[in-house]
Amino acid sequence: MTRSIVWFRRDLRLADNAALAEGVRQGEVIPAFVIDPKLLQSDRVGAKRVAWLAANLRELDRSLRQRGTQLIVRRGEPAVELLKLACETSATQVYFNLDLTPYARKRDQRVALELEAQGVTVENPDDLEDAFARALAADATVVIDVKADKDCVTPVYDFSAAAAAWSYHE
């Protein structure tokens, strides 16, 4: 059985969480959140944002405990902390959802490179930006909807309106 870390960031929820769904599909999941000191030291982060984060982390942990697990919270540089956690738990994969902020994109790339260099597979299962780019390149119409089967939920994307708007503004 595969053991994976699901790295929560902005997506502090169990529902509609592609990284969590993929981790669960693969086997045992270790839910984790890393408090990044760089973000806390940012001039964009005030007391209200920190309070919001703390409340949502507690709620996520409560939801996870109802399902027989718990949220592991670490503080430090994300790549370092995730690698330590992977070593401590024998996790071979890390899953996380897409975050498009400039800081997050750079951080995620750095984390992925560092973890993969140490033999930990990194997956980002909901890369809508790549789906959008593929749809634009193929001049495709894709429908944003969720097709639910008895045991499977399959997202289908429609970027035709967005592609038209994007082309209009270029």
The Cα–Cα gap between 39 and 161 comes to 34
Report pLDDT digits (tens) over 128-157: 555 555 555 555 444 444 444 444 444 444
Q: What is the pLDDT of residue 137?
A: 54
Q: Does domain 2-126 have CATH number 3.40.50.620?
A: yes
Where do the structural domains in the chain lie, given as residue ranges? 2-126, 129-169
Q: What is the pLDDT of residue 101?
A: 83
Q: What is the pLDDT of residue 16?
A: 85
Q: Indicate the pLDDT class of residue 47, thresholds 50, 70 and 90.
A: confident
Q: What is the pLDDT of residue 147?
A: 42
Please give the share of the chain, as a percent, with pLDDT higher than 70.
Answer: 74
What lies within 8 Å, CB to CB, of 109 at 6+ separation is none
Q: Indicate the pLDDT class of residue 9, thresholds 50, 70 and 90.
A: very high
